[in-house]
Structure 1
Amino acid sequence: MGLIAAVTDPDIARHLLRDEGEVIVDEVRHHWVSFVVPVLVCLLAVALLASVPFLPLDWGWFPILLAGVVAAWGVYKVLVVHMDRFVVTNMRVYRVHGVFSQQLATVPLTRILDITVKKPLVGRVLGYGHFVFESAAQAQGLREIRYVGRPDQRDLSIQRVVQRSGVRGRPQVN
């Protein structure tokens, strides 16, 4: 794996417990709306470069330098969004994120007590929402997952996995 691939691929499969029979049920990437601000920042860098011919020759270096810094920050923010993955397996849910140093937060299905799906008005129109996990663990690194595309279907997917795993019994009918 080259340097570019190492920085741009979160390689979520390497965190699977294959010997235990763990398989990926769903890999959640961020909804496209989470890329809007970083892409606008990159476009700002292009606009700064476009201003160079209209400035005095002595000041031409400044927008070029500023455009480089703005573009680097915009590309970094795009990578932050791209590298943030939420994974549902048949045994647990986990989140891998980070560009230069990677972090992994895991919650076994047995510890998930509740999932709240928040859908703001814009999210309902564009098809995204935010997950908030309540778990038996006091401090967890997997509390909120933002900008999840198709949140209702993904919530049902997690509920199905939890139900099939036998963590929670069938509802009792009186």
Structure 2
Amino acid sequence: MAYPDDLLADDEHVVVHTHPHWKTLVLPVLALLLVVGGGSYLAALVAPLAWNAIGWAVISAVGGLLLIWLVLVPLVRWRTTHFVLTTHRLMVREGVFTRSGTGIPMSRINSVRFRHGLIDRVLGCGTLVVESASDEPLEFDDIPHVEQVHTLLYREVDDDPRETARREET
């Protein structure tokens, strides 16, 4: 899925557009399985009782609320979080109703690092740490293929035409 072109400058192109790594969805999937399994078990227990319709309604309502809270909300949060690297800037956008975002021009990026532990290495993700000229280092967690993104970001910072022009002036 491409990032909306109307948010980019005329000469700007998307290099990487990704969502957080799929590992962030493991707990919601487990919650889905537990809620559905537990709800089915409780519905089977309530079935022989005289008030089974009320029991099924309560089980359905509680299960529905749990599914919204434990499964749907994290899924929507994952789907609406965008990590975008363009030829001019690094952007992170997140949120459904209240959107927030961070954008760092390539010329303001001083250094780029990544880190990942054993589990992250097995899964192919990690944390990208970006230090800009004026702010504290920004850490972006659960970036898929973090080493490749690190390399691409470093290459874009190094190839930034404004940075090259500034170096030539000095």
Bucket of the pairwise TM-score, normalised by the shorter protein: 0.7 to 0.9
Give the match for residue 23 of structure 2: 33
Distance 1:152 1:11 in 2: 21
Runs of 5+ unmatched residues, structure 1 = 1-8
- Give the drift of 1:13: 3.5
Give the match for residue 54 of structure 1: 45
- Give the drift of 1:117: 0.5
Summarize deviations over 1:69-101 as a string: whole Å, max 9, x none: 111121111110121111111110001111222
- TM-score normalised by L of structure 1: 0.80
Give the match for residue 153 of structure 2: 158
For the residue of structure 1 that corresponds to 2:159, the secondary structure is helix
Answer yes or no: is 1:107 the counterpart of 2:98: no
What is the total number of aligned residue pairs between the two structures?
158
C-alpha contact 2:112 2:154 (8 A) present in aligned 1: no
The aligned runs of 1:40-79 (5 Å cut-off) are 40-51=30-41, 52-55=43-46, 56=49, 57=52, 58-73=54-69, 74-79=71-76
C-alpha contact 1:39 1:78 (8 A) present in aligned 2: no
- TM-score normalised by L of structure 2: 0.82
Amino acid corresponding to residue 75 of structure 2 in structure 1: V
Answer yes or no: is 1:121 the counterpart of 2:118: yes
Measured on the aligned residues, the alpha-carbon RMSD in Å equals 2.3
Distance 1:10 1:144, change over 3 A: farther
Summarize deviations over 1:16-63 as a string: whole Å, max 9, x none: 123xx1111111222221111122222233123312121242533332
Distance 1:165 1:144, change over 3 A: same
Distance 2:117 2:4 in 1: 29
Of structures 1 and 2, the larger Rg is shown by 2
- Give the drift of 1:138: 2.9
Amino acid corresponding to residue 67 of structure 1 in structure 2: G
Runs of 5+ unmatched residues, structure 2 = none
Distance 1:14 1:79, change over 3 A: farther
